Amino acid sequence: MKLTKILKEFNLGRTSKPEVIGNSKGVVVKGLSYDSRNVKEGDLFFCISGECNDGHDYAQEAITNGAAAVIVDREIQTHSPQIKVDNVRSAMAEIAEIFFNFPSKKLTTVGVTGTNGKTTTVNLLAEIATYAGENAASIGTLTGIRTTPEAPDLQKQIHDLAEEGKSFLAMEVSSHALSQRRISNIKYDLAIFTNLSHDHLDYHGDMESYYEAKSLLFTPNHAKYAVINVDTPFGKRLAQEIEIPHKTVSIGDVKIIEESIQRNIFQWEGKTIEMQTPGTFNIENAVSAAFAAEALGFKKDSIVKGLSQAQALPGRFEVIDSKNNGPTVIIDYSHTPDGLRKVLLSAQNIPGIKNVHVVFGCGGDRDKSKRPQMGAVSENAATDVYLTSDNPRSEDERSIINDVLAGFRNPTDVYIEPDRRKAIFQAIKMSDPKDVVIIAGKGNEVSQEIKGQFHPFKDSDVARDGLEARAT
């Protein structure tokens, strides 16, 4: 695509025009890039400023690697064409949509945001849409490195999905993506708010800023309609402040019939739904998905079938088959205080369960303020706590553990084992057959990051090894 054509589309309706420095005539853009290391011949390079690096410092490297032109927010020294804009990230989102020919307009789109439940809700919606006859797809934690990809990657994914004939897309929308304008020009047919609790405050600073980032999705620029779960205070607040048509939902909208390790059974609008995904919090996710699907025009039969047939996602309240009379082991991605609390309470609700043991740690180089809260939650909701490492990254694992211990009333009652494999083995060994062991924090991740090195590690595999060792 010619750069002049991109800029013409980009300029539409603007009062403040970008400044073109150098000769842009005849420049053909073959791709988009924001990482100088990955630039290909003919790419348009965006000099975005990240948390640690400034893309302007790598512009010349990008040009050397073949960039046809660069997008900047301040003029740089180069003979190549540069387009100066007010905000590079915002421009990147808009230009990406232009370059890929506005792909989101070719599908029915749903954006799901919240602290917990995004992945499951997206999956449930995709299942419902499939049973309704749509060619459905999803984008989120299970399909990429980031919950919500950077704008060029996201727009390309949507473009490719549309080219494949997909007609329905449900995707996770992170608070980082909203504040960094990765979805600037996408207008979802429907947006869902699941909940909001303590997380990402290392980035947002405080809960108010975190809420403000999430609320950006529920504006006329980003969504035509919304479904808001009002079981949390922030959900109630959003429902009062929202400016677009919406429906409020709650777990009180359904009648729970049965909760077990294998399934959830509940009634929704006169229909009985038997879900293969256990955990009370998954009923909450199902409620949001059901009402969202109904608002999109899907028939109740498709909604019931979709929710009933949806399988539990790997690492999301994943039950590990405990052979040889071992305890029930559950792997879950819960890495926030509220997420961990909900998982532990769901385990308590399982009929026949005697004790709830939990193995968890907190990630390094991430929100430190939630660590003592995670400790307090585990102490209050679990019989025994096995405190270990998660992904310590560049931090000392013992220092992270000490931060978590600060939230305990009786830290001497905690089993401390920094080696995650040993901690899992110990918890399984010390549990009775009628107990449940929750292994929280990493879910379906396949490695553990320690001092910049990625070591193969998957909680479910280690749990199976631990159960086998217990039986011998």
Q: Please report, as a single letter, which amino acid is at residue 122.
A: V
With a cut of 90, say whether residue 199 has pLDDT above it: no
Strand order of the β-sheet with 318-320 is: 318-320, 328-332, 436-440, 356-360, 384-387, 415-416
Using CA atoms, how far residue 382 sits from 357, 412, 414, 452, in Å, is 6, 15, 11, 32
Around 360, how many Cα atoms within 13 Å sit in the side-chain half-sphere?
A: 37
* Contact in structure between 154 and 180 (CB atoms under 8 Å): no
For the chain, give percent helix, strand, coil, nearest 5: 40, 20, 40
**Can you name the residues that pair with 330 across neighbouring β-strands?**
319, 438
The kind and range of the H/E element at 240 are helix 233-241
Q: pTM of the prediction?
A: 0.92
Pick the closest to residue 369 from 178, 204, 153, 126 (CA basis): 204
Residue 116: CB atoms within 10 Å: 25
Distances (CA, A) of 26 to 72, 235, 309: 20, 51, 54
What pLDDT is stored for residue 134 in this prediction? 98
Range from 80-89, 318-327, 453-462 carrying the lowest mean pLDDT: 318-327
Q: Determine the pLDDT at residue 15.
A: 66
In which residue ranges of the chain is CATH 3.90.190.20 found?
318-471
pLDDT tens digits, one per residue of 365-382: 999 999 999 999 999 999
- The CA distance from 109 to 106, in Å, is 9
pLDDT mean over 265-279: 95
122/274 Cα distance (integer angstroms): 18
What are the tens digits of pLDDT across the range 393-433?
999 999 999 999 999 999 999 999 999 999 999 999 999 99
pLDDT at 117 over 80: yes
- Tens of pLDDT along 220-238? 999 999 999 999 999 999 9
Q: What percent of the chain has pLDDT over 70?
A: 100
Mean pLDDT confidence for 447-453: 95
Topology of the domain comprising 3-99 = 3.40.1390
Average pLDDT over residues 200-210: 89
Kindly state the average pLDDT of the residues 442-451. Answer: 96
Which CATH topology does 103-309 take? UDP-N-acetylmuramoyl-L-alanine:D-glutamate ligase (3.40.1190)
What's the confidence (pLDDT) of residue 7? 92
Residue 12 confidence class, pLDDT cut points 50, 70, 90: confident
Q: Which helix (H) or strand (E) holds 340?
A: helix 337-348
Distance of CA 419 to the CA centre of its chain: 27
The per-residue pLDDT for 130 is 97
Q: Is the pLDDT of residue 275 over 80?
A: yes
- Please list the residue range(s) of the chain that carry CATH number 3.40.1190.10: 103-309
List alpha helices for 2-87, DSSP H. Answer: 3-11, 59-64
- CATH number assigned to the domain covering 318-471: 3.90.190.20
Residues 6 or more apart in contact with residue 31 via CB below 8 angstroms: 40, 42, 43, 44
pLDDT at residue 147 in the model: 86
Q: How confident is the model at residue 49 (pLDDT cuts 50, 70, 90)?
A: confident
Q: Which phi and psi (to 5°) does residue 54 adopt?
A: -115, 120
Q: What percent of the chain has pLDDT over 90?
A: 88
H or E, element range at 201 = helix 201-204
Provide the pLDDT for residue 262.
86
- Residue 13's pLDDT is 67
For the chain, where do the domains classified as CATH 3.40.1390.10 start and end? 3-99
Which range among 46-60, 269-283, 317-331, 413-427 has the greatest average pLDDT?
Answer: 413-427
Confidence of residue 202 (pLDDT cuts 50, 70, 90): confident
